[in-house]
Amino acid sequence: MAHLVQQVLNAVQLGSVYALIALGYTMVYGILRLINFAHGDIFMAGAYFGLFAAGFLQSRIQAPSWVTLALTMVASMIATSGLAVLIERVAYKPLRNAPRVSLVITALGTGLFLENFTLATMGAEPRKMPEIVRVSNLDLGGVTVSTVQLLIILVSLLLMIVLDTIVRKTMTGMAMRAISFDKAVTQLMGVPLDRIISLTFAIGSSVAAAGGILYGLAYPVIDPYMGIRIGWWAFIAAVVGGIGNVRGAMVGAYILGFVEIFTPLILPSFTYRDFVAFSLLLLFLVFKPTGILGRPTAQKV
């Protein structure tokens, strides 16, 4: 029983990170109907920004670990938001009225550019995230709970609650939902389309940057290609939960976290986890393409 509870805790930790990345996918798709395949690499860029910020802060200031962590996350989220807005303005905005396949190809190309630019500037050698948080373990009846696990789960839940509140309770969130419903009519009603779209990219990427830092604390290996697999898993989580639905992305992320942790316990090898994840995606696309919390949309033709 203790082993089972330990694996559940590990799955919640991993699902929390996936949720922060999946939210970016679902927010951009909800407004532009664009699957931003570069989002996994934005997560990677956020991890690198956090790496640099943590190293700089630890070398220049003497502060409690929670202050260093907070400043690192703020710096990384701001830098990653700026990068995402730049990508939207340069790569996506000129193609906003182009065929959807053009945007998909551009997103893939943007992701490849980010990977290879990081490889050329940072090198292929994996980097280790500085120990911002002192790791200590608590033994609760045979279940080991680390301070990093608690930090990841609590910070992720806090960010998800804040994001859900922004989308559902603020004027900006209302504008986002209005644009997702009818972009043309929303513009006629005076909603600043470009500003809301840029803000959506900024919010989604900043949350992914926080996920990159938390992932770096738990699995302290950062490399230019870390966003490929994690980005795909977060995309699957968004689709399973109902892409375009914020709460659905959270639900799908925790499902994928349990899939990744429990697959090696049931099947003979951890390599089957990708097979299980993509099989789950295929089943949802065939039998419930709107996902768990997604809703079908009617379109006049």
Buried b (16+ CB within 10 A) or exposed e, 77-108: bebbbebbbebbeebbeebeeeeeeebeebbe
- pLDDT per residue over 158-202, tens digit each? 999 999 999 999 999 899 988 888 888 888 888 898 899 999 999
- Which pLDDT score, from 0 to 100, does residue 274 have? 87
For the ranges 20-29, 37-46, 60-69, 132-141, the lowest mean pLDDT is seen at 132-141
- Which pLDDT score, from 0 to 100, does residue 300 have? 57
Most confidently modeled range among 82-86, 187-191, 261-265:
82-86
Average pLDDT over residues 105-128: 92
Contacts of 250 (CB under 8 A, 6+ apart): 19, 22, 23, 160, 241
Rounded to 5 degrees, what angle do the CA atoms 148, 234, 73 make?
40
239 token code pair: 């689709």
- Which pLDDT score, from 0 to 100, does residue 145 have? 86
Residue 299 binned pLDDT confidence (cut-offs 50, 70, 90): low
Average pLDDT over residues 37-41: 93
Hey, where are the domains in the chain? 2-287
Residue 211 binned pLDDT confidence (cut-offs 50, 70, 90): very high
Mean pLDDT, rounded, of the chain: 89
- Which pLDDT score, from 0 to 100, does residue 238 have? 93
- Which pLDDT score, from 0 to 100, does residue 116 have? 95
CB 208 within 8 A of CB 20: yes
Average pLDDT over residues 38-61: 92
- Which pLDDT score, from 0 to 100, does residue 183 have? 83
Q: Does 142 have pLDDT greater than 70? A: yes
Average pLDDT over residues 268-294: 87
Q: Does 120 have pLDDT greater than 90? A: yes
Q: Does 87 have pLDDT greater than 90? A: yes
2-287 placed in CATH 1.10.3470: yes
- Which pLDDT score, from 0 to 100, does residue 301 have? 53
Share of the chain above pLDDT 90, in %: 53
Strands (E), the chain: 137-140, 143-146
